Amino acid sequence: MNTSGTPQRADIRDFLATRRARITPEQVGLPVGGTQRRVPGLRREEVAVLAGVSTDWYTRLEKGHIRGVSDDVLAAVARALLLDDAETAHLFHLARAAKPTRTPRRRTPAKLPESLQQLLEAMTGAAAFIRNGRLDIIASNALGRALYAPVLDQPAWKANIARFNFLDERAADFFPDYPGSMDTTVALLRTEAGRDPYNKDLTDLVGELATRSEGFRSRWGAHDVRNHTTGLKHFNHPVVGPIDLAYDSLDVRSTGDEPLVLTAYTAATGSAADEKLRMLASWAASDAPDRSTARTPGANPSGPIPAGPEQTDERFDA
C-alpha cells in the first residue's frame, strides 16, 4: 500500500528487493566467489536458481508483475528468500491484491457483539482490549483501560496506538523498548496493508503518520511485516512504574467487515508484575470508576471514551 490508497507494483518490488538484500550467499549454500558484490544480499539470478525459475521471470516478478503467478511458484520464491510465516502470507496477500481492480473504500466500522463485551468485563485479572487492523482500540476492560491510559486519555490520538507511538512524546517513556515498539507498530500496519490494501481508513492513517513522523516514514519503507500473537511487553506506567507483562492475541469476530484482535496482558501469580497489576486495578477503581468499558468514539453506541487526566497536545517526530 502506498499513501494514495491503491496497491502499486512498487509495493511488490520493494518487498521482494528488501527481502533479497538481507540474505547472504552463505545463508543459502551458494559459493561466495571472488568478485565483489555491488549491492548487499543475493543477486536476482541467484534467487531465480533457488526458486527454480528463469532469471527473466523472477526479474519481472520483482518489478511487480505478480498477477497470475501460481501459488506453487510464490511458495518457491518464499522459500528461496527465507521468508517467515508472516512474510510468506504478506507475499500471497500482495499477489491477491494485484488481481482485481477495485476502488479504495471505507470499511463498515466493527461493532462488538455483546458476548465479547461481557468476556472483556469478566477478565478481571488481565488487562485486555480489542483492536482493529489500524490499531484503534475498540473496547477494553477496566484494567486494560488503566494500562493504556496514556493512549486513551488523549483525545487527539482517537484511541489509536500508532498515533500515540509516533506523535506523542510520552511514548518514548511509556514503552522502554521504544525503537522496538515503533518497529512492531509499523510492521503490524504494513501487514494489515497487505491483507486489506483497499482500506481507505488505513491508507489515511498511513498518510497522516508518514507526513508527520520521519521515524514512521523510514520504518514504513523497510517493508517489514510480522505476526504478533504472544510474547512479553515492557511498560513504564505513570502510576505503577516499570512492569513486564506476558501478552496473547487472538482474532475475534465482529458485526462489521473489519477483523478484530483481542489482546490480554497477564502476570504470573505472586510476581512483582502481578502485584503491580493489582495496584493498577485499585487505581482504576478509585480514580476512574466509569472505566469499566472503553470504546472509541463512533465504534459502539455507548459513546466516546471518558476523558482522563488533562494532557497537553504535544507532538514530535519519532
What one-character-per-residue DSSP string does 28-78 give? GT----SSPPSSSS--HHHHHHHHTS-HHHHHHHHTT--TT--HHHHHHHH
Cell of 179: 525503537
Question: What pLDDT is stored for residue 112 in this prediction?
Answer: 81
Element (H, E) at 152: helix 149-152
Query: What type of residue is 72?
Result: D
Cell of 153: 486519555
Cell of 273: 508484575
**What is the DSSP code (8-state) at residue 305?**
P
Task: Please give the helix or strand (H or E) that residue 264 lies within, else none.
Answer: strand 260-266
End-to-end CA distance of the chain: 21
Q: Would you give per-residue pLDDT tens digits along the chain (318 residues)?
A: 444 334 568 889 999 999 999 998 888 888 776 566 777 799 999 999 999 999 999 999 999 888 888 999 999 999 999 999 999 999 999 988 876 555 656 666 667 888 888 999 999 999 999 999 999 999 999 999 999 999 999 999 999 999 999 999 999 999 999 999 999 999 999 999 998 888 889 999 999 999 999 999 999 999 999 988 999 999 999 999 999 999 999 998 766 667 899 999 999 999 999 999 999 999 988 865 444 444 444 343 333 333 333 333 333 333
Strand pairing class (137-140; 127-132): antiparallel
Residue where the block lists cell 538481507: 22
> SS3 of 291, please?
coil
Per the listing, cell 482490549 goes with: 129
Looking at the whole model, is its pTM more than 0.85?
no
Report pLDDT for 308.
37
Could you give all domains of the chain from N- to C-terminal order, each with its CATH number?
A: 9-97 (1.10.260.40), 114-295 (3.30.450.180)
The DSSP output letter for 254 is: -
Instruction: Cell numbers for 214, please give them.
Output: 520521519
Asked if residues 152 and 270 have their Cβ atoms less than 8 Å apart, the reply is no
Cell of 247: 501478552
Q: What are phi and psi of 220, to 5 degrees?
A: -60, -35
